[in-house]
Structure 1
Amino acid sequence: MELKVSTRSHAGYAVVAITGEIDLYTAPRLQQEFTRLLQDRPGRVVIDMSLVEFCDSTGMNVLLSALKRIKEQGGELDVAAPRPAVRKILQVTGLDSVFTVHEEVPQEFLITEGS
């Protein structure tokens, strides 16, 4: 399955919306997006995982790497709206206590057209 990643930035924060599966084959695409995004030094990044069907350990490592880098820059990274399968991986690995996990993308991060 193809991985689609889109980033919307606004006023010092960014929402990274991911669609598809994050695995050994697709993780490099996500890594590239985080590398590009973190060059802009956003203060906060929210990862919208509402359309992620699957995420393996490679994908989790990409997320952890992004978290580490953004914290080094003084920023924050949150995970939003993980589906049950992804939430279970976060819980089993203990990463649900490493990331701030939201049930949905927080209202203040919803970027509407024209804003």
Structure 2
Amino acid sequence: MELKISSRSQGCHTLVAVRGEIDLYTAPLLHGELVDMLDDGAARLVVDMSGVEFCDSTGLSVLLSAMERARERGGDLELAAPRSAVVKILEITGLDAVFAVCESADVMEDAIIGAAK
């Protein structure tokens, strides 16, 4: 399955919409995109996971690595609207306690826009 990634910035915040499956084959693409965004100055990444149908340990590793990179630069990475299959793997791995997770990308986007004003 193909992975599609799109983003839009609002100041130092970037909303990243991910669609498809994040696995061993597609994770390098996501990693590259997130690193590029951070290297281009994005401080806070909000990853809209509503279109992610599957995420394996490789995908979780990419998200964790990007979050650590963002935090090293004084920013953060948050997950928005993950599907139940992704929530389950976050819970099983204990990463639900590591990532900030919002149930809706709209709520997260509203917070970004509000913080930018």
Whether TM exceeds 0.5 here: the answer is: yes
Task: Give the TM-score, by structure 2 length.
Answer: 0.90
Number of residue pairs aligned between Structure 1 and Structure 2: 110
User: Structure 1, residues 37-88: CA drift from partner, whole Å, max 9, x if none?
Assistant: 0112223110000000000000000000000100000001110000000000
- Higher fraction of helix: 2
Task: Give the TM-score, by structure 1 length.
Answer: 0.92
Q: In the alignment, which residue of structure 2 is the partner of 1:80?
A: 80
Q: In the alignment, which residue of structure 1 is the partner of 2:67?
A: 67
For residue 108 of structure 1, what is the amino acid of its counterpart? A
Q: In the alignment, which residue of structure 1 is the partner of 2:34?
A: 34
Q: In the alignment, which residue of structure 2 is the partner of 1:14?
A: 14
Aligned mates of 1:29, 1:109 — CA distance in 2? 25
Aligned mates of 1:81, 1:89 — CA distance in 2? 14
Q: Secondary structure at the match of 1:25?
A: coil
- Where does the alignment leave 5 or more consecutive residues of structure 2 unmatched? none
Root mean square deviation, CA, Å: 1.0
Q: Secondary structure at the match of 1:29?
A: helix
- Report the more deviating stretch, 49-58 or 5-14: 5-14
Following TM superposition, by how much is the alpha carbon of 1:28 offset from its aligned partner in structure 2, in angstroms? 0.6
The list of structure 1 runs, each at least 4 consecutive aligned residues, that deviate by more than 3 angstroms after superposition, is none
8 Å Cα contact 1:14-1:42 kept in structure 2: yes
